[in-house]
């Protein structure tokens, strides 16, 4: 009988220790309202680094030098690329695209 009472008290103490609702968990806003609004949800989620890299690439594309744009345009047009292997990209661009006039 005595061991049963001791085991019962021990079980109650273990249950009280493991099921105790601390004050810190009550301070959490998730206890009362588990859902976050959209603005707060973005506060702790970091933006994806791949998206940041893509954005930086788009910014770099806008600020390229003119000779780099010309070279890329020439690389996309096969006859210009072949001409560029012999005479260089500036001469190839001038030969194929230099006569264009834009308004």
What letter would DSSP give residue 33? -
CA–CA separation, 101 and 91 (whole Å): 17
Please report the pLDDT score of residue 98 as a whole number.
82
**pTM of whole model > 0.85?**
no
Residue 71: other Cβ atoms inside 10 A: 20
pLDDT of residue 85: 92
Is the separation of the CB atoms in 97 and 73 below 8 Å?
yes
Residue 89 C-beta-side C-alpha neighbours within 13 Å:
12
Q: Give CA–CA dist 93/25, Å, rounded.
A: 68
Q: Please, what is the Cα angle at 75 between 72 and 80, to 5 degrees?
A: 125
pLDDT (tens, 9 = 90+) of the chain, 103 residues, equals: 889 899 999 998 888 777 766 666 555 555 566 676 766 666 666 666 677 777 887 777 677 788 888 888 888 899 999 999 999 999 999 999 887 655 5
């Amino acid at each position: 009988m005595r061991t049963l009472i001791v085991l019962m008290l021990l079980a109650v103490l273990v249950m009280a220790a493991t099921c105790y609702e601390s004050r810190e968990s009550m301070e959490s806003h998730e206890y009362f309202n588990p859902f976050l609004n959209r603005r707060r949800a973005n506060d702790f989620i970091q933006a994806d680094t791949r998206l940041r890299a893509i954005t930086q690439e788009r910014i770099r594309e806008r600020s390229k030098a003119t000779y780099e744009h010309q070279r890329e345009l020439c690389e996309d047009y096969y006859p210009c690329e072949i001409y560029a292997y012999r005479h260089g990209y500036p001469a190839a661009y001038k030969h194929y695209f230099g006569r264009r006039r834009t308004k």
